[in-house]
Amino acid sequence: MPLTSPSAPPWDVHRLPRADGRVFLVTGGNAGIGYFTAEQLSATGATVVLGSRDPARAEAAVASIRSRVPGAAVRAVRLDLADLSSLTAVVESLEVSALDAVVHNAGVALDDPPRRETRDGHELMFGTNHLGHFALTGRLLPLLSAAPAARVVTVGSFAAKSERLDLDDLPSRREYRAGRTYGRSKLAQMYFGLELDRRLRGRGSPVRSVVVHPGGALDSLTPPRPPVHERGLGARLVAAPAALFVQGKHAGAWPAVRAVLDPAVRGGQLWGPRLFGLRGAPRQEAVWSHLADTAVAARLWDASCDLTGTDPGS
């Protein structure tokens, strides 16, 4: 089944469709892939809200977008996914009656031990990347349901492709390795995004959930956006050979932007870069075999409900 009708023009990452009057929330919109997702969505005429736990960095990102997108309707709200008790206030601070899309992009990636925890006592990466977005979705669903065809877009990671969840040790208490725990936290997000769509369809909701990943996205291949992102000549020279295989974070944002805007994208799909899943224009790809395990997704869902006190599918 084709992704677009024969008369529809091919998707062009540099010529996005208009989205005037729509409202999008991008978590972690002050830096990296989240920043470029927000910048690109702002160019469509939509209102874009950046969720960030750092007000100063958020305002710098807002200023950068406004300098590059004349007339951009962009603003920021304080969002700390590591503090579940704060999320209700975040939703209220949006001050909108409907939300057309949320891009679950924010994340924590630790390189080294020691193991750290959120305010709620969850391992920091799993608690922020997965549980925070899980709980936030539950609070946002009334606003999403009020829009005609809203989308929840969850940004996973290519690093999750080689990981498997340990459902008996989701907090990584028995054995903690930062890289593995990060990959599993992103895998949990991706399971969540697919399971959310199944549950939304099961209850007849018009909201759809899509999972994307950015492929290989490096800071050193990312165009400068001072003071949000700066790179020196040395970094550019060192990264040049890698450009054959991976890309910058501006391109890493393309699958999420398409998942928000393209009416041909359907709930329950996985989107990533065209070339080996690492770089290039966004395309739909087959759901990874382990992500298709609905029994694992259901167990993770139940555990996440218990850990957050929230059920986004109810």
Catalytic site positions: 182
Please tell me the distance from the alpha carbon of residue 277 to that of residue 162, in angstroms, as a whole number.
Answer: 13
Q: What is the largest CA-CA distance in the chain?
A: 55
Interatomic CA distance for residues 82 and 105, integer angstroms? 14
Phi and psi at residue 232, to the nearest 5°: -90, 170
256: phi > 0 → left, psi -120 to 50 → alpha, else beta; which? alpha
Question: Per residue in 267-288, is it b (16+ CB within 10 Å) or e — as a string?
Answer: bbbbbbbbbebbbbebbbbeeb
CA–CA distance, 7 with 210 (Å, rounded to integer): 24
Q: Determine contact, residues 110/116, Cβ cutoff 8 Å.
A: yes
Going by C-alpha positions, the residue among 151, 184, 126 that lies closest to residue 256 is 151
DSSP state of 225: B
Q: Which amino acid is at 111?
A: D
Which three-class secondary structure state does DSSP give residue 297?
A: helix
